[in-house]
Amino acid sequence: MTVAPFRKRQEARQTMECECGGSMKKEEKVVRWIGNDGQTYVIHNVPTYQCDEPDCDEEYEPGKISMMLSAIADLMEEGRLPDTVDFRRFKQ
């Protein structure tokens, strides 16, 4: 049961180490997709970690963020949320 506290600390960090040995910095990105209905959906300010090494394109998204992103996307496609939202609105 030591995994959950480690993940919490990992998600709160501003930087972490990449598999290539470089440093990953916390950044926010925009996620957009076209649904089956042809509608474009956009989620702004999604937190991720990006490697700052020029030859590395590694990106890391914490599990908690991935789960929230998936739930928000489902609600958007169901019409229960607008087509464009700010992820920070849903952070605890």
pLDDT at position 92 over 80: no
pLDDT on residue 2: 39
The CA–CA distances, whole Å, from 23 to 52, 63, 71, 79 equal 6, 19, 29, 39
Q: How does pLDDT run across 1-28, given as a tens digit for each residue?
A: 334 444 444 445 678 888 888 999 999 9
CB 50 within 8 A of CB 20: no
- Nearest alpha-carbon partner for 91 in 70, 66, 58, 68: 68
Q: How does pLDDT run across 54-72, given as a tens digit for each residue?
A: 899 888 888 899 999 999 9
CB 47 within 8 A of CB 28: yes
Q: Spell out the domain ranges in the chain.
A: 3-90
Q: How does pLDDT run across 30-50, given as a tens digit for each residue?
A: 999 999 999 999 999 999 999
- pTM: predicted TM-score of the whole model, two decimal places: 0.76
